[in-house]
Amino acid sequence: MFQLNGKIAAVTGSGSGIGKAVALLLAKQGAEVHLIDLNEEAVNTSASEINQANGKAAPHVCNVTNQQQVKELFNSIGKIDVLVNSAGVSHVGNVENTTEEDFDRLYKVNVKGVYNCLQAAVSLMNKNKSGVILNVASIANHVGITDRFAYSMTKGAVYAMTLSVARDYLHEGIRCNCISPARVHTPFVDGFLKNNYPGREEEMFNKLSKSQPIGRMAKPEEIAHLVLYLCSDEASFITGCDYPIDGGFLKLNN
């Protein structure tokens, strides 16, 4: 089950975190994976790990906010069976202290970047009347999270785009779903704690971990397992859905 032999997958944000874990797992399951990231060193490292494990991977340096770059890259790949939109950035702030610059930065990566990749991939998938898209959204789609104004805005847009693409291509053989993780222990979290709570990293890490009823953050590999399922043929009856993967955050946080 959950084999992707013969499939061609594109994963954005695959230089680290969730995107890297997804790319490694899809390759392990037989897909030829095209890794897309802005960080050349990181994406090359991810691709090397796959190739050294006898998988198939090709690294690509691409700015997902640049539509022309994205179109040229996807057209050069030629055929895409699976697209995972994982590239994203975060910001801490409420509506008053979120600057226009920060707002625009998050919009460009988290919303326009997803749009650019959706547009480029769907045009290829539509030619073959088949394809699977998985967007990484957030629990911020569903609940208000303190000091995440701009981030919540962008992830709500990702959720809405997921439903729109799923509906518009329902009869074209293209499935589109999203997942909504709670906190995941990625390099971003470590960097955030180091920059904002120097000397208190461990204390704040434990505090953030306990905000999930399960008592810890998710591992990127745990997120990747759900992505694999939704991108596999075993999930062929699923489209237009959002899957929380949150350690009980949405339903059990009383």
Query: Residue range 33-46: average pLDDT?
Result: 98
Reply yes or no on whether the pLDDT at 254 is more than 70.
no
pLDDT at 110: 98
Amino acid identity of residue 186, one-letter, is T
Q: Is the dihedral of CA 11, 16, 22, 25 positive or negative?
A: positive
Query: Residue range 226-234: average pLDDT?
Result: 98
Q: Which one from 151, 159, 169, 197 is the annotated catalytic residue? A: 151
pLDDT at 196: 79
Q: What is the mean pLDDT of the chain?
A: 96
Structure tokens at 239: 């489209």
Query: Residue range 200-215: average pLDDT?
Result: 93
CB atoms within 10 A of CB 64: 26
Q: In angstroms, what CA-CA distances link 3 with 96, 166, 183, 231? A: 48, 23, 28, 10
pTM for this entry: 0.96
Query: Residue range 201-216: average pLDDT?
Result: 93
Domains of the chain with bracketed CATH: 8-182+221-243 (3.40.50.720), 184-217 (no CATH)
- CA 237 from centre of chain: 21
Taking only the tens place, the pLDDT of each residue in 125-154 is: 999 999 999 999 999 999 999 999 999 999
Q: Is the dihedral of CA 48, 28, 64, 181 positive or negative?
A: negative
Query: Residue range 14-24: average pLDDT?
Result: 97
DSSP one-letter string for 18-74: HHHHHHHHHHHTT-EEEEEES-HHHHHHHHHHHHHTT-EEEEEE--TT-HHHHHHHH
pLDDT at 103: 98
Alpha-carbon span 68 to 159, nearest angstrom: 24
pLDDT at 240: 98
Reply yes or no on whether the pLDDT at 47 is more than 70.
yes
Told to judge if 159 belongs to the known catalytic residues of this protein, a careful annotator would answer no
Taking only the tens place, the pLDDT of each residue in 160-185 is: 999 999 999 999 999 999 999 999 99
- 60: closest CA among 73, 78, 79? 73
- 220: closest CA among 75, 22, 37, 59? 22
Query: Residue range 44-58: average pLDDT?
Result: 98
Query: Residue range 189-206: average pLDDT?
Result: 89
pLDDT at 192: 81
Rg (CA), the chain: 17
Reply yes or no on whether the pLDDT at 115 is more than 70.
yes
